[in-house]
Structure 1
């Protein structure tokens, strides 16, 4: 009851913040947020949860409950999950949708969630094959937007990879390391019983699927596909020490997929110091849309920094002007007094003397 009273007391403030977050967003963003709220209300019924969520054993034959791959994402059990979903979708509408467009964002949303449903089911099928426990097939309910939240973190990493989030004693936390850190935190919380086991599975699935789509398959306005930039490679998700090991493990499967025509080859690293002068080197990953995207981000950050600096300078100049005016006013009110001088009445002004400026008469002549 105490928590309910606190929530009702802060409800106007929360409503104001959510309206500010979702203001000027597309109808698709508002639709997703409304459906998530409705799904949370429906989650109080166990029968609804069983029908709308993805159950690995029922997604496989002979049941084939394929409709659950389109309904599980808006079903959240906890209120904090609903709040995180709405905030993330709202930020996605503010940051990603202006760059991609509404249709591309919805396409990314649908592909990620449907892929997360099937890939998470595959995980539990492997666990069932290793353990033989049927509870991993029929007692597990996959639901929520955890996979899409991971996909959004990957998209933000692609757009602003080196954006500083927070400084810690261990180092700087940027968008580059956010997906892996959240996955590790989810695994730790699951190990201590504070989080459901489906959450780390869905987060890992969303990270992998969104990276594959953005890396190889996303179509751009210039007609190209994917983002082959070196700072968006999969080993870039890991610390620098582990990157050679990750490249060694993922190298052979990637080369096989390239030969099959499923994936594009990785960009080659060319040392410009060894190249002849006057030769233009064209490398994959330096696409026009990638350069334009990074240029727009840099210009936006520069304009925000300049506006902040100009505002501080204006306030400083205004404060200096006010102080100078106050000093001049005080100086005008102070009459200087010298030592030994006794103030007295001011002397009367001297009388004016009229002077005749007419020409003098000539002197009389002497006889």
Structure 2
């Protein structure tokens, strides 16, 4: 009885998922639709076995005499499995929904081109390095680099940059946030690769995608205010690793960055001091967008308000002022002592309307002081 229920549940949810997916693609921009269509066309071309060496990157064929450098343009649109196509299109649509409103369609297309070319070239050179070490020609002519693993890595890096503290799920060992996704997905990809589900080049492409996308977003992406890159502390290279490894990674990455600055591959970040401010000195780092600073400010204010609104247990301390409010414990003790001391009938205080305060009607302080008794002046 359980199997028909599961199958009927799957059949009932599949049209809903399909409709949502179709609506998401329909509302996407031209860039998202174009890339999704090209990935679908590349999947159908993968059924032509003789075309695979020409539309995928084979490290031995991109060098002379074959010189198939055009394969760096087509390889990212080729997938050999349909579920890879669905995963790629889902990432493209999510990228368009989350980041295209912030970046714009031209910047999104530029990021895709830089990521695709960078991942293809670096992965091919990595296999050249494997060949030089092992002298195994299989690394040159039996390897086919294809797919959008590098773009998936770039999407993870971009989401970490924009929304690093967004919580995706609460797990038994802690909260899974966007800042944990790049490294977590890398571990998952390595496991899938060892089990034979993903091709051999997929982990290398993903790692190269992390490096290329981080370098572009960290140092070279141009913002609306004219600055380039994002020098925020929570977007450093060490922030991709667990907190226990971050000091070691920071030392290595900073040393490599110093070498790149000396050889003029990277520019040293410059700090701008606003000395015209009358109260404080404002330090501005290039690449820090105003909307990013405002977003972090709002998150900090929200966390502070939540902490302040938490109910705190307050203790009723006894008052040091004789005329001030008395704590409930002291009031009970005083009431019991007065009850034992007074044996006669209780004395009722006269109403306030019968208390004469001559000279106080005009509201002058001198009239009030004249109406007060000598015992009240010492209080």
Determine if contact 2:229/2:287 at 8 Å carries over to the other structure.
Answer: no
Q: Distance in 2 between matches of 1:297 and 1:26?
A: 28
Q: Is the 8 A contact 1:159 1:293 kept in 2?
A: yes
Q: TM-score, normalised by structure 2?
A: 0.71
Q: CA deviation at 1:201?
A: 0.5
Name the structure 2 match of 1:45.
48
Alignment match, 1:232: 235
Q: Which residue of 2 aligns with 1:121?
A: 124
State the distance in 2 between where 1:213 and 1:118 align: 15
**Structure 2 match to 1:212:** 215
- 1:284 equivalent to 2:294? Answer no
User: 1:1-367 to 2 correspondence within 5 Å?
Assistant: 12-265=15-268, 278-284=279-285, 287=288, 289=289, 291-293=290-292, 295=294
- The structure with higher relative contact order (CA 8 Å, sep 6+) is 1
Q: Cα RMSD (Å) of the superposition?
A: 2.8
Q: 1:42 to 1:299 in 2, by over 3 A?
A: farther
- Change in CA separation of 1:33 and 1:245 when aligned onto 2, cut-off 3 Å: same
CA contact (8 A) 2:228 2:286 kept: no
Write the distance in 2 (CA, Å) between the matches of 1:25 and 1:243.
38
2:253 counterpart SS class: helix
Larger displacement relative to structure 2 (185-194 or 31-40): 185-194
Q: Which residue of 1 aligns with 2:335?
A: none
Q: Is the 8 A contact 1:159 1:294 kept in 2?
A: no
Tell me the SS of whatever aligns to 2:165.
Answer: coil
Aligned partner of residue 240 in structure 1, secondary structure? coil
**CA 1:115–1:283: 2 relative to 1, 3 Å:** same
Distance of aligned partners of 1:286 and 1:104 in 2 relative to their CA distance in 1, 3 Å threshold: closer
How has the CA–CA distance of structure 1 residues 41 and 11 changed in structure 2, closer, same or farther, with 3 Å as cutoff? Answer: farther
Distance 2:236 2:36 in 1: 32
* Deviation at residue 206 of structure 1 after TM alignment: 0.5
Aligned mates of 2:139, 2:98 — CA distance in 1? 38
Match in the other structure for 1:326: none
- TM-score, structure 1 normalization: 0.73
State the Cα deviation string for residues 230-284 of structure 1 (Å, max 9, x = none).
110000000111011111212222102122332233688xxxxxxxx94414142
Alignment gaps of 5+ in structure 2: 1-8, 272-277, 303-379
Unaligned runs of 5+ in 1: 1-5, 269-276, 304-367
